[in-house]
Amino acid sequence: MKSLNSFIVLLFCFISTFAQVESAGKAMYVMKGISLENHIDFDSIPKTNLYGVATAENLQGEITIFNGKILHSSIENDEIKTQILAITKSPFAAYTKVDQWISTEVDVNISSLSEFEKVIATTAENLNLDLNTAFAFKVEAEISDLKFHIIQKDLTQKSHSHQTHKDSKHIFERQNQNSVLLGFYSQNHQGVFTHKGSFIHVHYIDKNQEETGHLDDIEQKGKIKIYFQKL
């Protein structure tokens, strides 16, 4: 009976932990070329209600996991190629299981990613969410203007640096695009899964899931629907 009770406690702890935002590797280490080795294999992660953002193995594209579906966008002949993967490995990722979303609609007038971050924080706070706890969020809207990148490292380059990382980014811009933005908010993970000076890491997905990438900038005026992970 004692061993059974111990098992139940361990199982409860696992389920509770997995409901929180998890990370593997560090964004800062990838960007600086300190560590490009894989730190997670999503083959071992349950896919039910799974959401995540990641850099593809060997920096060959961007990964967005949306409700268990692994979307991979890479560059082929200067064009975006997107496929759905059964499994994937990554040197860096942030992910979580979302069993329930809390949704709200807000009217915004934003012209930068930093202003978008403030909207996320203010709206979450208005819903009594704890800003000291990392959480996932998603936005559904027709976005006026957005910029995103897909990283595609030249595999002939054996070394990697911050400059090489910047040079490996393929930049794209979309206007009036029906989009989903999947993001992770944290005030305590700069360099881990958010960039220095930022509390959010966001990926863009077009409505038809034909492309995805890391959101770099955004302009939006009007109503947007925001969903927050209920922890």
106 and 92 assigned to the same domain: no
Same domain, 219 and 115: yes
| d(C-alpha 138, C-alpha 184), whole Å | 9
What CATH number corresponds to the domain at position 184? 3.30.1330.80
Do 6 and 113 fall within a single domain?
no
* CA gap 72, 85 in Å, rounded: 7
Least confident range from 18-22, 30-34, 115-119, 126-130: namely 18-22
pLDDT grade for 159, boundaries at 50, 70 and 90: confident
| Distance (Å, whole) CA 72 – CA 94 | 15
**Are both 90 and 200 inside the same structural domain?**
no
Shared domain check, 216 and 132: yes
C-alpha 57: how far from chain center: 15
Question: Does 89 share its domain with 157?
Answer: no
pLDDT grade for 153, boundaries at 50, 70 and 90 = very high
Based on the domain organization, do 90 and 188 belong to the same domain? no
Backbone torsions φ then ψ of 198, nearest 5 degrees = -135, 150
Question: How many domains would you assign to the chain?
Answer: 2
CB 149 within 8 A of CB 170: yes
- The pLDDT assigned to 19 comes to 62
CB environment 72-89: b (16+ within 10 A), e (fewer)? bbbbeeeebebeeeeebb
Among residues 96, 121, 144, the one where a domain terminates is 96
pLDDT in tens, 17-73: 456 999 999 999 999 889 999 999 999 899 999 999 999 999 999 999 999 999 999
Q: Are residues 7 and 89 in the same domain?
A: yes
- How many other CB atoms are there within 10 angstroms of residue 9's CB atom? 10
- Same domain for 129 and 92, yes or no, is no
What is the structure's pLDDT at 179?
96
Domain of 202 in residue numbering reads as 100-229
pLDDT over threshold 90, residue 81: yes
Domain edge (last residue) among 53, 72, 96: 96
pLDDT higher than 60, residue 136: yes
Q: What's the confidence (pLDDT) of residue 127? A: 96
From 96, 124, 141, give the residue that closes a domain: 96
Same domain (yes/no): 111, 221: yes
Judged against a pLDDT cut of 90, whether residue 4 lies above it is answered with no
What would the 3-class secondary structure string for the chain be?
Answer: CHHHHHHHHHHHHHHHHHCCCEEECCHHHHHCCCCCCCCEEHHHCCCCCEEEEEECHHHECEEEEECCEEEEEEEECCEEEEEEECCCEECEEEEEECCCEEEEEEEEEECCHHHHHHHHHHHHHHCCCCCCCCEEEEEEEEEEEEEEEEEECCCCCCCCCHHHHHHCEEEEEEEEEEEEEEEEECCCCECCCECCCCCEEEEEEECCCCCEEEEEEEEEEEEEEEEEECC
Residue 200: phi and psi, rounded to 5, are -130, 150
| 107 and 64 inside one domain | no
Average pLDDT value over all residues in the chain = 91
Domain match, 134 and 56 both: no
